[in-house]
Amino acid sequence: MQSMTGFGRAEHATEHLIARVEIASVNRKQADIVFNLPRELSEIEPALRKTILTKVSRGRVNVSVSLEAASAAADSLSIDPARAQALEAAFSELSTLLGRSIQADSHDFLRAPGVFLFKDSGIEPSQAAEAIQPALEAALERLVEMRTNEGSDLKTDFLERLNLLEETTAQISEKAPQVVTRQRENLHNRLREAEIEIDLNDERLLKEITLFSERCDISEETTRLASHFKRFRESLELTEPMGRSLDFLCQEINREFNTIGSKANDAGIAQFVVVGKTELEKIREQVQNVE
Q: What is the pLDDT of residue 118?
A: 56
Please spell the DSSP secondary structure of 238-284, one letter per residue: -SS--HHHHHHHHHHHHHHHHHHHHHH--HHHHHHHHHHHHHHHHHH
pLDDT tens figures, 155-212? 999 999 999 999 999 999 888 777 767 666 666 666 677 666 656 566 666 666 666 6
Q: Give the residue, 219 or 3, on which the prediction is more confident.
A: 3
Q: Which comes out higher in pLDDT, residue 120 or 178?
A: 178
Q: C-alpha angle with apex 287: 32 to 142, nearest 5 degrees?
A: 55
Work out the angle between the directed axes of helices 125-193 and 203-215 (0-180°, nearest 10): 160
To the nearest whole percent, how much of the chain has pLDDT over 90? 51
The domains located in the chain, with CATH, are: 6-71+124-147 (3.30.230.40), 77-118 (no CATH), 148-287 (1.20.120)
Contact, 175 vs 272, CB < 8 A?
A: yes
In one-letter notation, the amino acid at residue 100 is: R
34-55 pLDDT tens trace: 998 888 888 999 999 999 999 9
Q: What count of Cα atoms within 13 Å lies in the side-chain half-sphere of residue 66?
A: 6
Q: Is the pLDDT of residue 30 over 80?
A: yes
Task: Tally Cβ neighbours within 10 Å of residue 132.
Answer: 28
SS3 sequence, 26-89?
A: ECCCCEEEEEECCHHHHHHHHHHHHHHHCCCCCEEEEEEEEEEECCCCCCCEEECHHHHHHHHH
What span, in angstroms and rounded, lies between the C-alpha atoms of 18 and 3? 30
- For residue 166, the model assigns a pLDDT of 96
- 219-236 helix and 243-264 helix, angle to the nearest 10 degrees: 160
Burial class (CB in 10 A: 0-12, 13-18, 19+), 287: buried
Residue type, position 151, single letter: G
pLDDT at 74 (0 to 100): 45
Cβ-contact 162, 46 below 8 angstroms: no
Identify the pLDDT of residue 21.
Answer: 95
Q: Convert the pLDDT of each residue in 235-285 to its tens digit.
A: 999 888 899 999 999 999 999 999 998 887 778 889 999 999 999 999 999
Mean pLDDT of the 218-240 span = 92
Which residues are paired to 36 by β-bridges? 64
pLDDT at 72 over 60: no
Q: Are strands 59-69 and 77-79 parallel, antiparallel or unpaired?
A: unpaired
Residue 259 CB contacts under 8 Å (≥ 6 apart), including other chains? 218, 221
Residue 97: predicted pLDDT: 87
- Asked if residues 25 and 62 have their Cβ atoms less than 8 Å apart, the reply is yes
Looking at per-residue confidence, does 286 or 203 come out higher? 286
Give the tens place of pLDDT for each residue, 137-162.
Answer: 999 999 999 999 999 999 999 999 99
pTM above 0.85, yes or no: no
Judging by DSSP bridges, how do beta strands 17-26 and 77-79 pair with one another? unpaired
Quick one: pLDDT at residue 170? 94
The SS3 of residue 162 is helix
Task: Out of 55-69, 209-223, 262-276, pick the least confident.
Answer: 209-223
What distances in angstroms separate CA 47 from CA 15, 23, 112, 128, one per listed residue? 22, 16, 42, 12
How far apart CA 260 and CA 167 sit, in angstroms, is: 15
Backbone angles phi, psi at 8, to 5 degrees: -150, 145
